[in-house]
Amino acid sequence: MLIAVDAVGGDHFPERPVQGAIEATKENENLQILLLGPEELIKKELADKDYDARRIHIHHAPEIIGMDESPASAVKTKQQSSITIGISAHKQGKCDAFVSAGNTGALLAASTFILGKLDGVLRPTIAVTYPTIKGVSLLADAGANLELKPEMYFQFAKMCEIFAREIMEIPNPTIGLVNIGEEPEKGMDLHKEVHKKLSELPNFAGNIEGKDILYGKSDIYITDGFTGNVILKFGESIPDVLKYLLKKKMDEEKLGEDEQKLVFNIIAKTMDTFNYEYVGGLPFLGVNGVSLVGHGGSSVTAIKNMILNAVHCVESEINKKIVSSLNN
């Protein structure tokens, strides 16, 4: 298994991508890594590292796509970037998957333009894990497609169902439609049409209100990319806001240092399920390949887990199962 890793993706390159790749090889003895980025930069980062040189390879990619660059423009103009070269190598069968914590839009654009779509897929989607009190759920779309047609919602639901079952190991994942009320007639005309379409699925749980998301009322939440991205960013803010409010209140109540430390330790353990490190990164569902994106601030552990997640996607033949599901 050869996984291509964007060594210059994210906010902390090349340190974290390179070290994450090394850690992944230590955890999976059958794994080999192809690091993409400026060769001298990668060599310098590897110089003082403890790793198996037979399993870590370098592919020179002199250009870097920044986190704030225009996705479409960057992919077109930077043909020698780590993302473009890495996705092209995957398209040519030179590696089994590509992972990056870099520019999400650029990676989605390159994955869609270069790899193309799976047979029958109208549009690829970005699905993200979302913490609930019952465990982790899946949210799609998380920002790739701002406007959708009913059939696209339906396809996203089926693709997420495959991912939840095969990768997240949820035996019979339920599917919910994010809406402003539980009743089928709630929402705009589009949502009513989507509800009717999703009702064809035996595991459709109906409409899900915002207040029910964190309670884990469904295993999969389906919505448009605009709403999904708002929900995602809101969820990401919860731990820091909670920490701020706790600190402010404890200072007002004049709690001592030891007491505050105890409270923060308890809260930190409570917030573990909100930690993206355990998943690392998720694939663009619907593209004709295995392309995963991680959080820009990904830690070494998150990069490692994203790589191992890519291995799992390849081994489970998730794309083959998606095509079969959509065309049956």
Please report, for the chain, the start and end positions of each structural domain, with discontinuous segments joined by +.
1-116+286-328, 122-277
Question: Given this chain, do its domains 1-116+286-328 and 122-277 carry the same CATH topology?
Answer: yes
Rounded CA-CA distance 282/287 in Å is 13
Top-level CATH class of 122-277?
A: alpha beta
Q: How far apart are CA 36 and CA 89, in angstroms?
A: 10
Q: Which CATH code fits 1-116+286-328?
A: 3.40.718.10
Q: What is the pLDDT of residue 97?
A: 98
d(CA 15, CA 8) in angstroms, rounded, equals 9
- pLDDT in the model for residue 81: 98
Q: In whole angstroms, how far apart are CA 165 and each of 119, 175, 204, 268, 313? A: 21, 12, 15, 29, 12
Q: Supply the pLDDT for residue 268.
A: 80
Q: Are 153 and 197 in contact (CB under 8 A)?
A: yes
Angstrom distance (rounded) from CA 208 to CA 222: 9
Write a three-state SS string for 18-61.
HHHHHHHHHHCCCCEEEEEECHHHHHHHHCCCCCCCCCEEEEEC
Q: What is the widest separation between alpha-carbon atoms in the chain? A: 63
Outline where 111-224 has alpha helix (H). Answer: 150-166, 189-198
Amino acid at 249: K
Question: Facing residues of 59 across strands?
Answer: 36
97 SS3 class: strand
The CA R_g of the chain, rounded to the nearest whole Å, is 21
Strands (E), 68-134: 97-100, 125-132
- pLDDT tens for each residue of the chain, 328 residues long: 999 999 999 999 999 999 999 999 999 999 999 999 999 999 999 999 999 999 999 999 999 999 999 998 999 999 999 999 999 999 999 999 999 999 999 999 999 999 999 999 999 999 998 989 888 899 999 988 999 999 999 999 999 999 999 999 999 999 999 999 999 999 999 999 999 999 999 999 999 999 999 999 999 999 999 999 999 989 888 888 988 999 999 999 999 999 999 998 888 887 776 666 777 889 999 999 999 999 899 999 999 999 999 999 999 999 999 999 998 7
Angle formed by the axes of helices 189-198 and 150-166, nearest 10°: 40
In terms of DSSP bridges, do strands 291-294 and 281-285 run parallel, antiparallel, or are they unpaired?
antiparallel
